[in-house]
Structure 1
Amino acid sequence: MARFWWGSSDSQRKIHWKKWDSMCTLKCLGGMGFKDLSVFNDALLGRQAWRHVHAPHSLFGHVMKAKYFPKCDFLEASMGYSCSYSWKSIWSSKALLKDGCIWRVGSGERINVWTDPWVASDEGRFISSDPIVGVEKVSDLIDSCTHEWKVNLIEESFQEKDVKSILAIPLSFLNLDDEVTWALTKNGHYSVKTAYMLGKGGNLDSFHQAWVDIWSMEASPKGCGAAESTSHAVFECPRVYDVWVECGCAEMCIDASSLSMCDLVESWRKLDRKKVIRGIFLAWCLWGERNRWIFQQQCTPNKMLVERVSRLADEYGSYTARIYNHVAAASRPSVKTWQPPPPGVIKLNVDASCADVGWTGLGVVGT
């Protein structure tokens, strides 16, 4: 794949200007977003591993459990000896699966307080306080009569950040079973996309909204971003600035000297979208013009550059309109509307909300 991207041929091999790890960096982190096939394969295998966790009573689950882990759950299973290729492949994704799992507390009888991931905090999914005697399962922290946390025991035994994380977990009066969920999706279900992002282990400190804006723009295929690091060549050169003015995009250059490239791109969100798209094509043409001047000593008149930018923007706009032109279906009003109860019947309307600090609010209106 790398040889294809850099333009290799049967008789000549081109230079690979960037490491493949850099090419596989996520787009939102400034990379090209190429798939790391090894990590992607683990994410796909993780879906089969997830079946062992959530569908242990299926035919697939019964067969694999009887052969490879008859005395424990999948998450505690070892690979064993003389295994099939299928089991080795599925087992290899278990580490990725465990990195993204978190327990949903029901009765708390299956969750180990000290070794299982069951709290959600900025520092991770595990309890960081030192173990104490007499507390092993999460059920030891729950009052079996009231189905509420033993607040006094928790405050005396755990660090402050652990106390906040534990008390923020809502409990049910129905004594539900504990369940393993996926921490990276809203519905708790495993997804290959989030597992791949977890496997890539990207540094989220490198995230910038500008990268999302660049890749979502309706413009020609994007480059790697390195071209936009030379603000003088694209914005500040007097001749270049004249071209920006003639294209009607001078507003995009106002803060070019004081902002980083990412912050500058993010500031364009306040401008007209058509103008921004035209400016993106202009920046691309100017960078190509700069390279042509340095390496070939050729220069294109400003008028021709302006006409080229207008043509590219119009052609690409008509192309996207032809390919993706569709009218969104009008939203239909919901057929489920509130109706008053019949005479002699009491109707309860309920709602609930959870605050960031863990408090839960309930509302009940009777009619």
Structure 2
Amino acid sequence: MDAKLKGAPSFIWRSLWSSLGILKEGLVWRVGNGSGIKIWKDKWLPRPVTYQIQTPINMLDSETRVEPLIDKDCRSWTVDLVQSVFREEEAKLICSIPISRRGASDRRIWVGSDRGTYTIKSAYFIETKLSNRSFGEPSTTGSKNSEWRDLWRLEVPGKVKILIWKCLNNILPTKDRLYKKNIVDNYLCPVCEREKETIMHALWVCPAAADIWGGETSTFRKWRRDYPDFQQLWGEMIKKLSQENIELAAACSTTYHIWTRRNAYTFQNQPKNPASIVSLAQTDLASLKEIKQSNNTNAVRSQERGPSQLWKPPEWPFFKVNFDVAFDKDKESMGMGIILRDSEGGLQATFTAPKTHILLAFQAKVSALHRAMELCSELGLNQVIIEGDAKVVIDSVNSKNEDNSWLGQEIDDL
């Protein structure tokens, strides 16, 4: 990680070295026993963007490892020491980091993905963040976030949202874009064959698109045609089409079908009537509305029926443990409940306890599952069925893939 690029390097080494910045940005330490992590220098806090301690160096010198902050006997943080060394906010965050109960070694994980595993896609996003940081974030970041919220909240099919997202990011594969990448030999619109096919031309200006937007009953009949880019057109739509987003949803769906009409004509030589495009857009929205109403009706019926699965006792000689948690995000705490019953349904043991320094519901459920397993071990039981409603936790435990996420060591401990 600290390698230098010396004189006359090979092409392969120079290529590998050029990606070092991305690796340094995406690799962080996950605490195991703390022996390999330097408190003040390494990246080990689950907090973007730096993942490093911001508290000024005090009490412990600059080379001190994380290990002295951990009580080796209890396999937990030495809370008093942590609170005396770090600022309150960082102390709470540190105490919420799970520690390997097995004393496993510290591990480097990749923050670009939820599972902590490197992927090309996650590296691309980290590279994009680095580029934005180098050149400075645009002053319109707030408005951009608002644009995305307006888009993702729309009640339109996912395929429509993806198309609009591509338009706003200027990555729709129009002839102009493909020509610049030397994929096609000209940039003319394949429909009108007269002008450069940009996103605005294909979806708004081209006569084939203008006929649709300019229909007798169209809201857009008198709208201007000279918007410089799709971002400005989208902003105008958000501003003017406010009738519970019904008109905006219709506009998005129409945009999608204008693009599919263009593709059908270009690749299959199948021209479509402008009236059919409006009809298809309306059908899409009507179908989506019908599906949502059906789902809501089914949800109400399900609630009226109550739980669909009743508790069943295990077969002899097994015992069954059920666990559940109550998680308070604001107070960063949880309460757990565990109950143990035999094959006849007879109560054998119960356990309840609170726990602090819990930041995530997943973390709370893992803690409860671990305590349930400990309870069985304390009672000398080894033929036990453990049952809970924490599907994500159960799937993680049963998964054959290694979990390199921030909380992965808790799954490993199980």
TM-score by length of 2: 0.45
SS in 2 for 1:87: helix
Matched, 1:131 2:57: yes
Report Cα offsets for 1:112-138 as digits up to 9, x if no partner: 111111102355300011223445111
Matched, 1:156 2:87: no
Give, in whole Å, the separation in 2 of the partners of 1:268 and 1:216.
Answer: 22
Give, in whole Å, the separation in 2 of the partners of 1:279 and 1:78.
Answer: 54
Counterparts of residues 233-272 of structure 1 (less than 5 Å): 246-247=217-218, 260-261=235-236, 263-264=238-239, 270-271=245-246
Report Cα offsets for 1:226-259 as digits up to 9, x if no partner: 9999xxx99xxxxx9x967714789xxxxxxxx9
Give, in whole Å, the separation in 1 of the partners of 2:240 and 2:275.
Answer: 20
In the other structure, the counterpart of 1:91 is 17
Matched, 1:364 2:338: yes
CA 1:282–1:78: 2 relative to 1, 3 Å: closer
Root-mean-square deviation over aligned CA pairs = 5.0
In the other structure, the counterpart of 2:112 is 184
CA 1:266–1:209: 2 relative to 1, 3 Å: farther
| 8 Å CA contact 1:209, 1:266 repeated in 2 | no
Give, in whole Å, the separation in 2 of the partners of 1:117 and 1:354.
Answer: 28
SS in 2 for 1:125: coil
Report Cα offsets for 1:170-213 as digits up to 9, x if no partner: 22311122111111211111122222122122446433234667
Counterparts of residues 86-235 of structure 1 (less than 5 Å): 86-121=12-47, 124-134=50-60, 136-201=64-129, 202=132, 203=137, 205=142, 206-207=144-145, 208-210=148-150, 216-217=159-160
Counterpart code for 1:346: F
Matched, 1:344 2:317: yes
CA 1:169–1:150: 2 relative to 1, 3 Å: same
Give, in whole Å, the separation in 1 of the partners of 2:313 and 2:246.
Answer: 48
SS in 2 for 1:76: coil
User: Displacement, 1:268?
Assistant: 7.7
User: Displacement, 1:360?
Assistant: 5.6
SS in 2 for 1:246: coil
Give, in whole Å, the separation in 2 of the partners of 1:88 and 1:280.
Answer: 45
TM-score by length of 1: 0.50
CA 1:339–1:174: 2 relative to 1, 3 Å: farther
Give, in whole Å, the separation in 2 of the partners of 1:219 and 1:194.
Answer: 19
In the other structure, the counterpart of 1:330 is none
Matched, 1:78 2:4: yes
| 8 Å CA contact 2:160, 2:253 repeated in 1 | no
Give, in whole Å, the separation in 2 of the partners of 1:126 and 1:150.
Answer: 19
Q: Percent identity?
A: 22
| 8 Å CA contact 1:169, 1:358 repeated in 2 | no
| 8 Å CA contact 2:39, 2:66 repeated in 1 | yes
Counterpart code for 1:217: V
Give, in whole Å, the separation in 2 of the partners of 1:283 and 1:268.
Answer: 23
SS in 2 for 1:131: coil
In the other structure, the counterpart of 1:27 is none
Counterparts of residues 7-22 of structure 1 (less than 5 Å): none
| 8 Å CA contact 1:219, 1:277 repeated in 2 | no
SS in 1 for 2:89: helix
User: Displacement, 1:168?
Assistant: 2.0
SS in 1 for 2:338: strand
